[in-house]
Structure 1
Amino acid sequence: MTAGTLHIVATPIGNLQDISPRALDVLRSVSLIAAEDTRHSARLLQHFGIQTPTTACHDHNERDKSERLVQRMLGGESMALISDAGTPLVSDPGYHLVRQARAAGVRVSPVPGACALIAALSAAGLPSDRFAFEGFLPAKAHGRRQRIEALAGESRTWMLYEAPHRLLECLEDMRDLLGDDRQVVLARELTKTFETIKGAPLSELVEWVRGDSDQQRGECVLLVEGAPQRDEDALDPEVERILDVLLEDLPVKQAAALAAKITGEKKNKLYQLALERGGR
């Protein structure tokens, strides 16, 4: 018997017209739709007159349920996986089901469509040739600040989802840790009636969000300008400081050699810098 297929179906993030004809065909043709929240998805399915049975597949039951769903697909049934909005598995459930299906030899086929982070990136005006996605940062302040600190030197545009009730706190932490001038774009309620895409230095963006409570509602994507790339030939300021201290008491050659041993920097580069600084 030929196994069925697991279709990973993207659904609209707001505007229902963003669903693709192929997605509708798949949702009508499969035996079962695995949905993050069947009550939420029922509104979408009813809108398009889709009567395919649904079953809940979310963070709390996915590990246990995946095995049963995979067995049904091995028996020849095809199924679709959808999340509440956008592309499944992108900060949404589905990883365990897809992993188990592939391990069992079930064909997994994507049905592309809306994805909030890609929609936001396309309209943000930040570099998009290389980017990083961080999902949701930790909910508690300490963990969130630690993660932002770890990302401070990231040279790519980096993006995250944030809950509206934590948006202002997150932006304030970014301002404190990344500086007033770092450019950040808030993309909120994409494709919906009150869609907002606002880019500004963090100092300005914090005040704008603080002054308008409407901006602290709905689905939020934050896009952060990457840190300036460090010149590979530039020396770390601490390395230069060590060399300067050694030059106060040692000849150029000895100072450069000792600084190289302490810092791991190349001796020739330090020797040349020492000469430029007028070492004896």
Structure 2
Amino acid sequence: MEKKVNSFNSTGILYIIPTPIGNLSDITYRAVETLKNVNLIAAENIYHTNILLQHYNVKNILISLNKDNEKTQSHYVINKLKEGKKIALVSDAGTPVINDPGYFLVKKCCYLNIKIVPLPGPCAAITALSASGISTNRFCYEGFLPSKKKIRCDLLNSLKKETRTMIFYESKHRILESIRDIIEKIDENRHLVVAKEITKKWEYIYGAKANVMLSWLKKDKNRYNKGEIVIIIDGFKELKNQDVSEKVINTFKILRNFLSSKQSVLIASKIHKIKKNNLYKYAITKEDK
């Protein structure tokens, strides 16, 4: 049986409230008012959320809802919602549920037809994307890159020909290793952007080819040794036929019979005095098919 729109089983409401990702001023008037007026707040970290509440002189009841106690606490919150309570869900920073606890609770509320009111607000991935200079009309969010190298490399390899802009989160501990894997599995010449400490004092947004990005990061540890990091990778672009002439392609094909793809690209590009990157993209496209 289909559920009717706006036909809810209780008078309780779950508010999903985004909080600042760094700068405490980045919160809406509506969010502050809602935090003041709900019956209780389910927070990923009570201590962290208290800093925000004290800043805006918000006094309310807080309970913990994190990755370790999410299922247990969600049942508690559901019971309160069934009683008609209004409850706010917040994470440490940004929009709840996006790589943060709360999915189980929200899914349960949807199933039980409990009203959910999401508020708009900060999200590191979208904030970084808006200033990246990389295409924003089509993109995919992939969350945190896997910590294990093989799984991470397998994922990157599967996304090699993803035409949409790709957005990842990464930790300071693995950023260099991940950029190396992007170079190896996607393309050393693929344009990407690294955004660190968005909205905070040491914020930067830097774009370059993957190999240049790695060199740039390694020159100064302060560029990666702390803070939240977003990686944005330009999508794969199919090489147009006119970008590489038939004459160049024929030379490459002849060389490829005797040499590696990399050597063939290097020699053919020198013979015809073209950028090796164009021919390299052609070679990768054809040999992957």
Give the TM bin, normalised by the shorter chain.
Answer: 0.7 to 0.9
Moved over 6 A (4+): none
Amino acid at match of 2:90: I
Q: CA deviation at 1:212?
A: 1.0
Counterpart in the other structure of 2:132: 124
CA distance in 2, matches of 1:111, 1:136: 24
* TM-score normalised by length of structure 1: 0.81
CA distance in 2, matches of 1:131, 1:89: 19
Unaligned runs of 5+ in 1: 232-280
CA distance in 1, matches of 2:23, 2:190: 31
Q: CA deviation at 1:229?
A: 3.2
Q: Do structure 1's residue 44 and structure 2's residue 52 form an aligned pair?
A: yes
Q: Write out aligned runs for 1:67-82 (5 A).
A: 67-82=75-90
Q: CA deviation at 1:177?
A: 1.6
- Decide whether the 8 Å contact of 2:144 with 2:169 is kept in 1: yes
Q: Do structure 1's residue 218 and structure 2's residue 227 form an aligned pair?
A: yes
Q: Do structure 1's residue 61 and structure 2's residue 61 form an aligned pair?
A: no
Amino acid at match of 1:193: K
* TM-score normalised by length of structure 2: 0.78
Counterpart in the other structure of 2:183: 175
Counterpart in the other structure of 2:40: 32
CA distance in 1, matches of 2:186, 2:34: 45
Amino acid at match of 1:151: L
CA distance in 1, matches of 2:209, 2:81: 50
Once the two structures are superposed, what CA deviation does each residue of 1:148-187 show, in whole Å capped at 9, x if it has no partner? Answer: 1111110000000001111111011111122221001001
Alignment equivalent of 1:13, drawn from 21, 26, 30: 21
Amino acid at match of 2:67: D
CA distance in 1, matches of 2:40, 2:148: 38
CA distance in 1, matches of 2:187, 2:136: 22
Q: Write out aligned runs for 1:167-246 (5 A).
A: 167-216=175-224, 217-229=226-238
CA distance in 1, matches of 2:154, 2:220: 27
- Decide whether the 8 Å contact of 1:186 with 1:220 is kept in 2: yes
CA distance in 1, matches of 2:36, 2:201: 28
For residues 202 and 67 of structure 1, do their structure 2 counterparts lie closer, same or farther at Cα, with a shift above 3 Å needed?
A: same
**Corresponding residue pairs, total:** 233
CA distance in 1, matches of 2:97, 2:80: 21
CA distance in 2, matches of 1:142, 1:151: 14
The structure with the largest alpha-carbon Rg is 1
Q: CA deviation at 1:197?
A: 0.1
Amino acid at match of 2:177: E
CA distance in 2, matches of 1:166, 1:42: 30
Unaligned runs of 5+ in 2: 1-8, 241-289
Amino acid at match of 1:6: L
Q: Do structure 1's residue 102 and structure 2's residue 110 form an aligned pair?
A: yes
CA distance in 1, matches of 2:78, 2:88: 12
